């Protein structure tokens, strides 16, 4: 069933868009990546719509969700969304058959898990993600699922190391621009948009409001400590998943 707001925007579905689907995990700079992509004249969408993709109906629903809250960007060829949780199912059969560009990206576990814990300590100190064991389990299960998904995709997809958007910005943006065949390169400067900083749409930190990609501040871990055994398990999962995703990718951007 459609909401009243969605019904009002059904006519906008005539705008043909390929779906760019960022398949990643929490705290992998996906909000930053979404803003950079969504600021380009050929891409609309920049935040997580918190939905799965089961069939072609899911793709149309994504368009309705976005257009219910945003005007149509007439020059756009792509609509962006991201999926960061296993609970939001993505059908590999749909991706194989549909006009969807999958982009995989994962970040090393130590900084990822610490960032998850810091984030939830700030916005919801009672949340399970404040527990290191719970956050590590989420990370391991998520990267394993991404690796499994990559094995089932029969069409080409892109992969990039998540840290690259901070550590080798220009090269990564050129890689994405070229492979998406954009009419002009992606810029490290991006727009503040309607959902920017919304707690339920991704990163709500002040850094996202800067409008420009910034180098990572490595002095932000606070007092977060991770058990060595937990970190070992996460690193093993990361290396295995990353190797598998890169092996199956059409093209990859890998940091040295």
> Once rounded to an integer, what is the mean pLDDT over residues 32-55?
96
Q: Under DSSP, is residue 169 helix (H, G, I), strand (E, B) or coil?
A: helix
In this prediction, residue 204 carries a pLDDT of 67
Count of CB atoms within 10 A of residue 138's CB? 20
Beta strands per DSSP E along the chain: 18-23, 43-44, 78-83, 100-106, 158-161, 251-253
Q: DSSP letter string over 54-76? A: -SHHHHHHHHHHHHTTS---TT-
pLDDT tens digits along 54-109:
999 999 899 999 998 899 999 999 999 999 999 999 999 999 988 999 999 999 99
**What mean pLDDT is reported for the chain?**
91
Under 8 Å between Cβ of 118 and 204: no
Residue that wins the pLDDT comparison between 71 and 6: 71
Q: What are phi and psi of 68, to 5 degrees?
A: -70, -20
How far is residue 79's CA from residue 89's CA, in Å, rounded to a whole number? 19
Using 50, 70 and 90 to split pLDDT, how confident is the model at 155? confident
Using 50, 70 and 90 to split pLDDT, how confident is the model at 9? very low
Residue that wins the pLDDT comparison between 223 and 231: 231
Residues paired with residue 168 on neighbouring β-strands, in sequence order = none
Using 50, 70 and 90 to split pLDDT, how confident is the model at 11? very low
In this prediction, residue 108 carries a pLDDT of 98
How far is residue 234's CA from residue 140's CA, in Å, rounded to a whole number? 6
pLDDT tens digits along 169-182:
999 999 999 999 99
The angle at the Cα of 28, spanning 206 to 163, to the nearest 5 degrees, equals 100
> Once rounded to an integer, what is the mean pLDDT over residues 7-11?
49
Residue that wins the pLDDT comparison between 139 and 14: 139
In this prediction, residue 216 carries a pLDDT of 74
How far is residue 248's CA from residue 13's CA, in Å, rounded to a whole number? 33
Q: Which of 152, 8, 155, 145 is nearest to 88 (CA)?
A: 145
pLDDT tens digits along 183-223:
999 999 999 998 887 766 567 677 888 999 998 765 565 67
In this prediction, residue 207 carries a pLDDT of 85
Under 8 Å between Cβ of 208 and 196: yes
Q: Which of 144, 127, 9 is nearest to 70 (CA)?
A: 9
């Amino acid at each position: 069933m459609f909401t009243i707001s969605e019904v009002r925007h059904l006519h906008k579905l005539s705008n043909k868009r390929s779906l760019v689907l960022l398949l990643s995990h929490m705290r992998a700079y996906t909000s930053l990546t979404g803003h950079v992509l969504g600021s380009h004249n050929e891409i609309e969408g920049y935040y997580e719509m918190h939905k799965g993709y089961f069939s072609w109906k899911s793709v149309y629903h994504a368009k309705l969700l976005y257009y219910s809250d945003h005007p149509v960007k007439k020059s756009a060829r792509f609509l962006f969304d991201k999926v960061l949780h296993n609970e939001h199912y993505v059908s590999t059969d749909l991706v194989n058959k549909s006009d969807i560009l999958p982009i995989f990206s994962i970040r090393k576990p130590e900084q990822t898990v610490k960032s998850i814990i810091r984030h939830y300590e700030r916005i919801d100190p009672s949340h399970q993600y404040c527990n290191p064991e719970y956050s590590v389990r989420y990370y391991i299960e998520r990267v394993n699922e991404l690796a499994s998904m990559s094995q089932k995709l029969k069409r080409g997809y892109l992969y990039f190391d998540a840290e690259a958007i901070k550590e080798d910005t220009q090269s990564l943006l050129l890689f994405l621009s070229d492979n998406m065949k954009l009419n002009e390169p992606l810029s490290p400067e991006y727009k503040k948009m309607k959902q920017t900083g919304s707690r339920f749409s991704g990163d709500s930190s002040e850094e996202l409001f800067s409008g420009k990609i910034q180098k990572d501040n490595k002095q932000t871990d606070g007092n977060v400590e991770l058990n060595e055994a937990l970190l070992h398990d996460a690193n093993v999962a990361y290396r295995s998943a990353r190797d598998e995703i890169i092996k199956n990718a059409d093209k990859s951007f890998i940091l040295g």
